């Protein structure tokens, strides 16, 4: 059958795409920017790609008429202060665009909304569900709580806390109960409910058998990691203070931290497990989900990450707009070195950032990351999804990958740190030379003062970096 997949570049969308293709379906992938969509070569024969913006009704005219099933896997939790109205508008436009199509079923991944007092985020999820339910198709709504898996925002935040803090004084919302579910099970539920009539025009809660507090979930991570941790809860942390606590300690953005804190005050426990019986799926335990997640991390097999989404930054751009680095009105720092071993230099370039660091002056990079966090930026803690591979759209510390081609020997990064201007960092192998170019387009006087202030540090950082990347060791 022909399937429409929104959120193709998102955390869940990337996971279910190969599953749908392996089941023999043709998948129409909806993306905002084709340049940041890099599916595996093995899938390309069975997918097609269309560029749409759910806020632009006219772009939805590109959706084919012969779609059988559509997945709605988009959301703007941290990309805007007014995400609730934006999400509702996106859902309405999507529903209207399908009115003239032959779509039989829309599958929507939502959150568990069984409490009377919901967070802003969960109310938004419920409002989207209600809007999608007005369509001339059958809606299947799958409601999940905390999704446990490598690259999941909630999981990575909890992992950050446990691995970085041996002792924690935490907000009282850590005693809130939730019912987590492994990402592999979410993937199974989403792909097994295709055209199952018993799921039509109904909503279902997804969760494993374990009902845990967030404190118990944190301690569960500590147990799996063989770490001794002490956690005390106090009633004095305000939502704002809690958000800042998460923001500075973990790799999340402030907006995402704020949304998560707001949601974590609400219990997310399943009403029943009826969907398990309908689809004959028995979810794995919380501990097993943790073991699988860490196995993926250790083997460097993270299929997707929340960080790869634009919701992990405050930017609202198309990557393709920045692939050509500007020259007019820009400052440049260009350095060249003769490399000894091309393959080794490319290997080093494709491994920069994350846990391996920046080869030279890592303490200076860390200071820049702390300063970025202080001013509301993404900081260095965001790291990278994969330690050895990079593709357009990937996050890399406080950079975003615009272009990555090993055969050409070119990697282009765009800065997502807080800056009075725009910045690019490019690595390019030309002949027997490695060319490293930092470009900065200042915004007003503040941008020019900033460049002059940091120029002395570039002499250390960029000179050391290009030398390290070109060495045969």
Residues forming CATH 3.40.50.720 domain(s) in the chain: 2-308
Give the model's pLDDT for residue 442: 85
What does each C-alpha distance from 247 to 242, 289, 306 come to in angstroms?
A: 9, 25, 15
Give the model's pLDDT for residue 319: 45
Residue pLDDT, tens place only, 382-415: 677 777 788 887 888 888 888 888 888 999 998 8
Q: Is the pTM of this model over 0.85?
A: no
CB 3 within 8 A of CB 107: no
Residue pLDDT, tens place only, 413-449: 988 888 888 899 999 999 899 999 999 988 878 888 9
DSSP symbols for 336-366 = EEE-S-HHHHHHHHTT-BGGGBTSS-HHHHH
Residues forming CATH 3.30.530 domain(s) in the chain: 313-470
| Both structure tokens of 152 | 């999941």
Give the model's pLDDT for residue 313: 47
Mean pLDDT of the chain: 84
CATH class as words, domain 313-470: alpha beta
Checking DSSP bridges between strand 433-442 and strand 421-430, what pairing results, if any? antiparallel
CB 390 within 8 A of CB 412: no
Dist CA 98 CA 406 (whole Å): 40
Residue 367 CB contacts under 8 Å (≥ 6 apart), including other chains: none
Architecture (CATH level 2) of domain 2-308? 3-Layer(aba) Sandwich (3.40)
What does each C-alpha distance from 90 to 11, 34, 66, 255, 343 come to in angstroms?
A: 19, 19, 21, 20, 45
Rounded to 5 degrees, φ, ψ at 114 are -95, -5
């Amino acid at each position: 059958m022909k399937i429409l997949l929104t959120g193709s570049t998102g955390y869940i969308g990337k996971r279910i795409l190969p599953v749908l293709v392996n089941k023999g379906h043709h998948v129409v992938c909806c993306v905002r920017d084709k340049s940041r969509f890099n599916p595996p070569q093995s899938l390309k024969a069975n997918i097609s790609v269309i560029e749409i913006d759910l806020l632009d009704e006219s772009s939805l005219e590109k959706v084919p008429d012969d779609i059988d099933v559509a997945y709605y896997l988009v959301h703007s939790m941290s990309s805007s202060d007014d995400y609730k109205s934006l999400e509702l508008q996106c859902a309405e436009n999507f529903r209207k665009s399908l009115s003239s199509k032959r779509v039989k079923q829309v599958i929507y991944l939502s959150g568990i909304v069984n409490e009377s007092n919901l967070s802003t985020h969960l109310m938004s999820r419920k409002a989207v569900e209600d809007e999608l339910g007005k369509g001339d198709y059958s809606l299947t709504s799958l409601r999940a709580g905390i999704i446990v898996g490598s690259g999941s925002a909630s999981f990575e935040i909890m992992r950050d806390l446990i691995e970085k803090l041996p002792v924690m004084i935490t907000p009282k919302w850590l005693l809130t109960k939730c019912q987590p579910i492994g990402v592999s099970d979410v993937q199974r539920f989403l792909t097994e409910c295709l055209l199952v009539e018993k799921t039509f025009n109904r909503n279902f809660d997804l969760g494993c058998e374990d009902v845990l507090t967030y404190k118990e979930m944190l301690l569960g991570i500590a147990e799996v990691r063989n770490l001794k941790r002490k956690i005390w809860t106090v009633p004095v942390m305000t939502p704002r203070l809690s958000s800042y606590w998460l923001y500075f300690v973990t790799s999340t953005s402030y907006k995402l931290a704020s949304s998560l804190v707001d949601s974590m005050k609400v219990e997310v426990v399943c009403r029943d497990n009826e969907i398990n019986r309908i689809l004959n799926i028995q979810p794995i335990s919380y501990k097993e989900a943790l073991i699988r997640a860490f196995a993926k991390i250790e083997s460097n097999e993270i299929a997707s990450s929340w960080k790869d989404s634009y919701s992990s930054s405050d930017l609202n751009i198309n990557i393709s707009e920045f692939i050509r680095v500007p020259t007019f009105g820009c400052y440049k720092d260009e350095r060249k070195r003769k490399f000894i071993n091309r393959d080794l230099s490319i290997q080093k370039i494709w491994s920069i950032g994350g846990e391996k660091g920046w080869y030279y002056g890592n303490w200076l990079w860390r200071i820049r990351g702390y300063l970025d966090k202080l001013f509301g930026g993404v900081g260095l803690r965001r790291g990278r999804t994969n330690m050895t591979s990079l593709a357009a759209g990937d996050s890399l510390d406080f950079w975003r990958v615009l272009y990555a081609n090993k055969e050409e020997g070119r990697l282009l990064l765009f800065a997502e740190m807080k800056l009075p201007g725009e910045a690019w960092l490019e690595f390019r192998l030309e002949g027997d030379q490695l060319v490293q170019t930092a470009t900065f387009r200042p915004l007003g006087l503040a941008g020019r003062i900033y460049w002059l202030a940091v120029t002395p540090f570039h002499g250390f950082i960029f000179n050391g970096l290009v030398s390290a990347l070109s060495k045969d060791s």
